[in-house]
A and B are shown apart, each in its own frame.
Chain A
Amino acid sequence: MLNPELKLNTKLFDKNVEQIPIRQGFGEGLLEAGEKNLQVVGLCADLTESTKMDLFAKKFPERFIEMGVAEQNLASVASGLAAMGKIPFISSYAMFSPGRNWEQIRTTICYNNQPVKIAGSHAGISVGPDGGTHQAIEDIAITRVIPRMVVVSPCDAIEAKKATLASVDTGTPVYIRLAREKTPIMTTGATPFEIEKAQIYWHSPAGGTKPQVGIVATGALLHKALLVAKELEEKKIDVEVMNLSTIKPLDEKAIIELAKKTGRIVTVEEHQISGGMGSTVAECLAKNFPVPIEFIGVDDQFGQSGTPDELIKHYSMDTESIIKAVTKILKR
């Protein structure tokens, strides 16, 4: 059952569940951050409307800088602004920032220890028809390896808004992973959120059977993991589902606890299996409490054009694939 303490959206299993793009939450969060903190500035590389930074840009034109198509400059100019006390948010498509400007992010932001917030929109394969060049499925891997970087991958627009607001005060560089498509709203304004805190969204009812599998999901695919949990409940297979929205720093305690409780882990992410959230979880468990793990994600391939649903199915990240992984791990 859904964890009642988290005050999640009670309609999240409805067929016509409300859907909002995660990037919209970033736009609204940045607008509110700008209202609350005069040091917040926004920089965008010619994708202001698309990354939803337009909400901030319209309200605070004197604190918005249009950079043109120049992502390397985007990262390093933000570093210079931060050096003077500003809290810069930079936005582009994840493929270009942190994709194209990775070395500038490493050296001028993280090595310099400047608290720049990097919003990478259009992450994941569900970008859809634009095709493989625009589908960032390596961004978690390349950001989490940089010292000092915090990596957050919100599950819906509401959580993205909270993550954006929370990122203002970390004093560190933060990567916020955003998606293009409308995705189901799973949380509410009342759902607690803290950077670094993993939460169990679905657990077996008190007095029920011991859960047999822990599903750890990040981003919008969390919704599919919850659908799977509900479906499996009807088949008398109890699982727990964790929303791991902060990938770094990792909530190791919660991950280890889940592994101890369930003995089997399935990770679910719209990212390359190699180096992503699943790898992070595997590193933690290999060291602390080794259990069998199955990984749902893109298996060392590039994306292509299609509708989000077609692509999620083709690259084996749909509910059917998650159920297969659960079935498989139960036999291991």
Chain B
Amino acid sequence: MGITDEKVKQLEEKANDIRISIIDILEDAGSGHTAGPLDMADIFTVLFFHTLKHNPKEPAWPERDRVVLSNGHICPVLYSTMAHAGYFPIKELKTLRKFGSNLQGHPHRDFLPMLETSSGPLGSGLSQAVGMALADKIDHGLTSNRRIYALLSDGELECGQTWEAAMLAGKEKLHNLVAVVDRNNIQIDGYTENVMPLEPLSDKWRAWNWHVIEIDGHNMEEIADAFESARAIFSKPIVIIAHTIAGKGVKEFERDYRWHGKPPNKEEEIMAINELRTLGGKIRSEHQ
């Protein structure tokens, strides 16, 4: 069952708002990561505004799906999406990385208990999601309607622990587990295929008995369809390899690994927000 054109339009507008928040708060913070948050904005939007079973007004609702963000450094997109979804006030986003803020530089449940996990050190999120899926399977078996979503970067697949977790999930046939790989091809030291080649990536997951879905990570319909079709798989865990453009949404940042770990300055913020508000010049900004 696909989603309507109207829904696609709504999701695209929401993703754009989230990207504007990301740029805004990163410039305020003066440090943080830009490329990953921008390129995962579309996937976060579909998850939180279409796919997830959750209740922002009751974050501890026991029946909720679980979202485990493994590469904690892209938390500006997690925080921005959660704020736009109503978990906490949007104005709180301004406190990112400040002393005493709920929005720590890398996610920390002590400060923001509604997070499913604290994260930062790469490579352990998939294991935690596997644990959650196992618990759900022990309690409900194949009748479980819950989904555990693990959001991973491509660079962190270089951590051996990821593959320890992948092996176990394949062995235990965790159909309630959906991993999403942000295949943006960059990491701190450069392009993934230069730093440490990951290809053939989909074959690696298939070898550990996962069901692989490859999508354009910026096509709302494809993202929503991938999550929907994952629900029809009952014999394997599912990985969605989402091909994304690092820094997506701001032409000057796109595909440039130097934007992995730095924030925009004031000038770059104005340029980027203007570009997002005008959808790359397709519409006139209210300020023009």
Q: Are A113 and B110 in contact (CB under 8 A)?
A: yes
Q: Are B118 and A68 in contact (CB under 8 A)?
A: no
Q: Are A104 and B135 in contact (CB under 8 A)?
A: no
Whether B120 sits at the interface, judged by CB under 8 Å, is yes
Chain B stretch 180-210: residues in CB contact (< 8 A) with chain A? none
CA separation between A34 and B47, bound complex, in Å? 37
Nearest Cβ in chain A — how far from B163, in angstroms?
9
Could you say which of A67, A73, A80 contacts B135, with CB atoms under 8 Å apart? Answer: A80
Could you say which of B110, B134, B164 contacts A65, with CB atoms under 8 Å apart? Answer: B134
Whether A112 sits at the interface, judged by CB under 8 Å, is yes
Q: Are B131 and A79 in contact (CB under 8 A)?
A: yes
Q: Are A108 and B124 in contact (CB under 8 A)?
A: yes
Q: Are B168 and A73 in contact (CB under 8 A)?
A: yes
Residues A84 and B132 in contact in the complex (CB < 8 Å), given A112-B109, A112-B118, A113-B109: yes
Q: Are B135 and A72 in contact (CB under 8 A)?
A: no
Q: Are B131 and A77 in contact (CB under 8 A)?
A: yes
Q: Are B108 and A73 in contact (CB under 8 A)?
A: no
Chain A stretch 71-91: residues in CB contact (< 8 A) with chain B? 72-73, 75-86, 88
Whether B278 sits at the interface, judged by CB under 8 Å, is no
Q: Are A104 and B124 in contact (CB under 8 A)?
A: yes
Task: Tell me if B's interface is mostly helix, strand, loop or mixed.
Answer: helix
CA separation between A70 and B172, bound complex, in Å? 15
Q: Are B135 and A76 in contact (CB under 8 A)?
A: no
CA separation between A274 and B161, bound complex, in Å? 30
Chain B stretch 97-146: residues in CB contact (< 8 A) with chain A? 108-110, 116-121, 123-124, 127-136, 138-139
CA separation between A112 and B121, bound complex, in Å? 13
CA separation between A41 and B119, bound complex, in Å? 24
Q: Are B138 and A72 in contact (CB under 8 A)?
A: no
Whether A107 sits at the interface, judged by CB under 8 Å, is yes
Q: Nearest CB to that of B139 among chain A residues?
A: A84
CA separation between A111 and B128, bound complex, in Å? 13
Could you say which of B109, B116, B118, B127 contacts A73, with CB atoms under 8 Å apart? Answer: B127
Q: Are B117 and A108 in contact (CB under 8 A)?
A: yes
Q: Are B129 and A80 in contact (CB under 8 A)?
A: yes
CA separation between A68 and B132, bound complex, in Å? 18
CA separation between A80 and B148, bound complex, in Å? 11
CA separation between A76 and B135, bound complex, in Å? 13
Residues A70 and B168 in contact in the complex (CB < 8 Å), given A80-B135, A83-B116: yes
CA separation between A80 and B138, bound complex, in Å? 13
Instruction: Give the size range of A's interface with the partner.
Output: 20 to 34
Q: Which residues of B contact A300 (CB under 8 A)?
A: none
Q: Nearest CB to that of B161 among chain A residues?
A: A72
Q: Which residues of A contact B131 (CB under 8 A)?
A: 76-84, 88
Whether B165 sits at the interface, judged by CB under 8 Å, is yes
CA separation between A75 and B130, bound complex, in Å? 12
Q: Are B124 and A72 in contact (CB under 8 A)?
A: yes
Whether A63 sits at the interface, judged by CB under 8 Å, is yes
Residues A67 and B168 in contact in the complex (CB < 8 Å), given A41-B138, A108-B124: yes
Whether A62 sits at the interface, judged by CB under 8 Å, is yes
Could you say which of B132, B135, B164 contacts A70, with CB atoms under 8 Å apart? Answer: B164
Could you say which of A65, A75, A82, A111 contacts B108, with CB atoms under 8 Å apart? Answer: A111
Whether B167 sits at the interface, judged by CB under 8 Å, is yes
Q: Are B128 and A70 in contact (CB under 8 A)?
A: no
Nearest Cβ in chain B — how far from A263, in angstroms?
42
CA separation between A75 and B160, bound complex, in Å? 14
Whether A103 sits at the interface, judged by CB under 8 Å, is yes
Q: Which residues of A contact B119 (CB under 8 A)?
A: 107
CA separation between A272 and B86, bound complex, in Å? 52
Which of A75, A84, A86, A88 has the most chain B CB atoms closer than 10 A to its own CB? Answer: A84
A/B interface sample: 7 pairs, CB < 8 A: A65-B172, A68-B167, A72-B123, A80-B68, A80-B131, A107-B120, A112-B117
Q: Which residues does A use to contact B, with CB under 8 Å?
A: 41, 62-63, 65, 67-68, 70, 72-73, 75-86, 88, 103-104, 107-108, 111-113
Q: Given known contacts A77-B168, A83-B135, what 5 new A-B pairs fall within 8 Å (CB)? A: A70-B168, A76-B165, A80-B132, A84-B131, A103-B121
Q: Which 6 A-B pairs have the closest CB atoms?
A: A80-B131, A76-B127, A84-B135, A73-B164, A70-B164, A80-B128
